[in-house]
Structure 1
Amino acid sequence: MEDKTNIRLTAAEMSGLWTQYINDTLVKCITSYFLENVSDEKVRPVIEFTLNTANQNLTMIGNIFKKDHFPIPVGFTDEDVNIKAPKLFSDTFMLMYLRHLSILTMAASSAMLGVVTRRDVVEIHKVVLKKSVELQDRTRDLMLEQGTYIRPPFISIPDKVDFVEKQQFLTGFFGKKRSLSSVEITHLFLNIQTNYIGKTLITGLAQVAEKEEVKQLLLRGKKMAQKHVEIFSKYLLEEDLPAPMGWDTAITDTTAKVFSDKLIVFHVSGMIAAGVGNYGAAMAASPRRDIGARYASLVPEVTLYAEDCANLMIKKGWMEEPPQTDDRDGLIKGEPLPE
């Protein structure tokens, strides 16, 4: 039987495997540290599951890289984390962080399954998706048990099916605004919650960062996250709907070095990239013009911050280059290949 894996990796397959590998090295560092500091014996197995999953993913992807003579990314190593450092985040926040991680991983692996074709690569993304769903189940169930899971707002069930008859459904800047739709509420809730998690994480990371320019960049990100929380919360509060709670009390007072500045800036940059995607999805799902316009007005601010994170990583030599296509014009002109 023909070996269906004996074909070249496509650009999409390289991208997915490379990104997943880098991210799993980061997850390995963070969960190794969490495991050393967790106190709740019910949270410990969830962290162990996440760490074991990251190690398994690294092995699977590493085997494909070796088979295809693909240079194995450096990512993050033991040098980027001090697992013996004092506790930085509460057990409750660790659990919330892992739940958020599962959401991001489910989205990424689902997207990759739509563009990869080689059988062994497809199987890897299926495994990643399955494990991320299991992590979501584990974190959700434990948070429900512990009373820390925050549900989206409840609204009344419609009496009947209705169809939009007037353009007023789209208005939002002038005159009477229609009530928020369930879809708009969902995106507002998720973006508030995501910004709260980001704000707490950034605050903690700023506390243990070493370089002053990294601290200043993180403080700017913290202010931006708080600003966005207030903007989105206002929409819910105006409709007498509850907004998600913050996690500011989830951080201890330690200032000891926990993670390298390289890991910190990369992690924040990745969160920002995910945030841009969330805003784009929310914009597309929000017919009320004032809400869509608000998301659109925030995207440039977020992307500029992401660019500043990238510039700092480039300046410090921290940014690993993803696989790129050949520079055909350069090859034709005989220009030397980049080192």
Structure 2
Amino acid sequence: MPAHPNEPSLVSSEIGNLWMTYQEKTMILRFIEYFLAHVTDDTFHSILEDLYAQSQQAVETITLIMEKEKAAIPVGFKPHDVNEGTPRLWDELYDPMFLHMMSKIEINLFAMYVTMSYRQDIRQLYQQLTIQSQHIFDRLSTFLLEKGVLVKPPMVTMPKEVNFVHELDYLSGYHLFGESRSLNTIEVSLIHHAIETNLIGMQLMIGFAQVANNNKVREYFIKGMKLSKDVETSLGEFLRQDYIEPPATHAGKATHSKIAPFSDKMMMYLTSLLATFGLGSNALGSAFSLRSDLPVTMTRLASKILSFVKEGGEIMIQNGWMEEPPQIEDRRQLTKA
């Protein structure tokens, strides 16, 4: 029953999305606490404080909604998931690069959650979270551009006229004599985004692999390193064929620290979240590519990512780290009566 007579009950999509948001936001809070302990730049410090306050407010709002609905409050991630006093696991510019990537994920998630919400207060919550994430993304973009570490996609000649495709070979990606056609700007943008994200993910996996306490977890993060490298190499080859250098940056590298700043549980959750989001991005790239050879490569990579996600889920279950999302009633048992 709803908490108030005039307020409709939460539907399944709203409950599931609030649960997911609680997990992600409590994790972000823990990362910000760690970043705040090491930050030296005043501008980034201000961004961290604002993001922390916004994330804390989101957690409190979701908690209040759940309490009014007499629903169980998720566990999420607590202060004990961060080990205080640990040295840097990445250089100082990795922190804003990581949050820049996470803000992009949040923008996509929260915008989608708006469309899956029916109660007015839930729609308003995700509208506000979308705006906040966009604002943080904008501030981090400006910060990283000023630091010279945010690599832009390649410049192209401005189109002077409108053309239409007349040859079916355009879709195959090959001309009559077997040469591949050059990439269009849509394809370049999708490849660039995927490589940029995987470069940040690779450094994340390197850091996690250095500090994981559980041997099986450490081996899993090493697989994540290799998978990120495979994505970067495979997609980067499409750019190199057109004499375009794939994105790369001198900053955002893992240090040599061997002391874990986070619990294995939280590192596994984040890895699972990023890998799952990577599947979605891969599917989007395949859908919008007009060269058939690109979707073939992306499908191969998607198969590897899916296997990686499945293995991660098994590790989390074996260690009791996977918090179960709210379940619907199992009515299938009624058919067996």
How far apart, in 2, do the equivalents of 1:161 and 1:141 lie? 33
Give structure 1 regions of 4+ aligned residues with deviation exceeding 6 angstroms.
none
Offset of residue 185 of structure 1: 0.2
Match of 1:330 among 323, 327, 333: 333
How far apart, in 2, do the equivalents of 1:261 and 1:213 lie? 11
- 1:69 maps to 70
Asked if residue 166 in structure 1 is aligned to residue 167 in structure 2, the reply is: yes
Offset of residue 40 of structure 1: 2.0
Instruction: Tell me the alpha carbon deviations over residues 141-181 of structure 1, each in whole angstroms, 9 at most, x when there is no partner.
Output: 11122222211111111120001101011123681221101
Asked if residue 268 in structure 1 is aligned to residue 267 in structure 2, the reply is: no
- 1:337 maps to none
Instruction: Tell me the alpha carbon deviations over residues 304-339 of structure 1, each in whole angstroms, 9 at most, x when there is no partner.
Output: 0000000000111110111121011336768xxxxx
Offset of residue 83 of structure 1: 3.0
- 2:184 maps to 181
Instruction: Tell me the alpha carbon deviations over residues 73-94 of structure 1, each in whole angstroms, 9 at most, x when there is no partner.
Output: 0011111111321111222111
- 2:259 maps to 256
State the AA in 1 paired with 2:108: A
Asked if residue 84 in structure 1 is aligned to residue 88 in structure 2, the reply is: no
> 1:78-157 alignment to 2 at 5 Å?
78-157=79-158
How far apart, in 2, do the equivalents of 1:114 and 1:15 lie? 13
How far apart, in 2, do the equivalents of 1:130 and 1:249 lie? 26
- 1:289 maps to 292
Tell which deviates more after alignment, 243-252 or 273-282.
Answer: 243-252
State the AA in 2 paired with 1:330: Q
Decide whether aligned partners of structure 1 residues 110 and 249 sit closer, same or farther in structure 2, where only a CA change above 3 A counts.
closer
Q: Structure 2: any 5+ residue segments left out of the alignment?
A: none
Q: Is the 8 A contact 1:196 1:247 kept in 2?
A: no
Q: Is the 8 A contact 1:26 1:76 kept in 2?
A: yes
Q: Percent identity?
A: 28
The RMSD of aligned alpha carbons is 1.6
Offset of residue 70 of structure 1: 1.3
State the AA in 2 paired with 1:229: E
How far apart, in 2, do the equivalents of 1:220 and 1:247 lie? 23
Offset of residue 131 of structure 1: 0.8
Decide whether aligned partners of structure 1 residues 281 and 249 sit closer, same or farther in structure 2, where only a CA change above 3 A counts.
closer
Offset of residue 216 of structure 1: 0.3
Asked if residue 19 in structure 1 is aligned to residue 35 in structure 2, the reply is: no
Match of 1:199 among 193, 202, 209: 202
How far apart, in 1, do the equivalents of 2:104 and 2:16 lie? 20
State the AA in 2 paired with 1:224: L
Offset of residue 102 of structure 1: 0.7
How far apart, in 1, do the equivalents of 2:97 and 2:286 lie? 25
Offset of residue 44 of structure 1: 1.2
Offset of residue 230 of structure 1: 0.7
Asked if residue 316 in structure 1 is aligned to residue 305 in structure 2, the reply is: no
Q: Structure 1: any 5+ residue segments left out of the alignment?
A: 335-339
Offset of residue 246 of structure 1: 4.8
Offset of residue 239 of structure 1: 0.8
Decide whether aligned partners of structure 1 residues 41 and 179 sit closer, same or farther in structure 2, where only a CA change above 3 A counts.
same
Q: Is the 8 A contact 1:5 1:119 kept in 2?
A: no
Task: Find the residue that maps to 1:91 and give its secondary structure.
Answer: coil
- 1:236 maps to 239
Offset of residue 249 of structure 1: 6.0
TM-score under structure 1 length normalisation: 0.94
